[in-house]
Amino acid sequence: AQSVTQLDSHVSVSEGTPVLLRCNYSSSYSPSLFWYVQHPNKGLQLLLKYTSAATLVKGINGFEAEFKKSETSFHLTKPSAHMSDAAEYFCVNSGTYKYIFGTGTRLKVLA
Amino acid sequence: ETGVTQSPTHLIKTRGQQVTLRCSSQSGHNTVSWYQQALGQGPQFIFQYYREEENGRGNFPPRFSGLQFPNYSSELNVNALELDDSALYLCASILRGSGTANTEAFFGQGTRLTVV
């Protein structure tokens, strides 16, 4: 069965410092993994997706994620946080016909 | 903007009432999924419609039902509302063809339902 686990419910970073949001996955076949961001009172926006073409995936707004099969991980990173990055981030594993969402990581960016 | 629109944006209903939420999918997309996002949680899959037929359902009771129309827009209907149905309801639009099961979904802004 497909699943994801987001290891941190809250992450705080200072503006200009690196961001790391952690996600582990479980999959009975080659997974399709996504990261979505949700700003307050907004819908979900796709940051990036992994579909086996490359292990390092670059997304929008400077985010990237690395797929590591040996560690069953798909962590999201950004070299330098911006105040506008403050939001809820969801790691998603795609099943046959549905998305399986993690519980979310709330990113706080301190000035 | 994703091109997926949902209406209404906010709704307040009384326990026991019925509600209909609407979603217009992105142009050309033939698949619509609905998700429930309770406060502080990740979205949970309710069901999916592909070419006007339900082809997948999550762990939700039958009082959650839906429709997809020939133009691929969709409705989510919830009967006998309960307090725990209070949540953000998200619609996702996907272009799905044969052999493309895991494609990117585009989400609407959601409908915030409050049951009192």
Strands (E) in chain B, as ranges, are: 5-7, 10-13, 19-24, 31-37, 44-50, 53-57, 64-68, 74-78, 87-94, 106-107, 111-115
Distances (CA, A) of B65 to A90, B16, B19, B46: 26, 16, 11, 9
In 3-state terms, what secondary structure has residue A60?
Answer: helix
- Asked if residue B116 has pLDDT above 80, the reply is yes
Q: Closest chain A residue to B58 measured between Cα atoms? A: A98
* Chain A residue with the nearest C-alpha to that of B1: A45
Question: Nearest C-alpha of chain A: how many angstroms from B73?
Answer: 18
Residues in chain A within 8 Å Cβ distance of B90 = 43-44
Choose the closest CB to B55 out of A49, A97, A104: A97
Instruction: Kindly indicate the confidence band of residue B99, based on its pLDDT and cuts at 50, 70 and 90.
Output: very low
Is the Cα dihedral B75, A36, A34, A28 positive or negative?
Answer: negative
Checking if the pLDDT of B102 tops 70, the result is no
Is the Cβ pair A43, B109 closer than 8 Å?
yes
Average pLDDT score over residue span B85-111:
82
What pLDDT, in 10s, does the model give residues A92-107? 998 777 889 999 999 9
**Which of A44, A91, A92 is most worth mutating to test chain B (most B CB atoms within 10 A of its CB)?**
A44
Express each pLDDT in A6-36 by its tens digit: 999 999 999 999 999 999 999 877 788 999 9
- Chain A contacts of B2, Cβ < 8 Å? 43, 45
Placement of tokens 């330098």 in the chain: A80
Note the pLDDT tens digit of each residue in B7-53.
Answer: 999 999 999 999 999 999 888 788 899 999 999 899 999 999 988 99
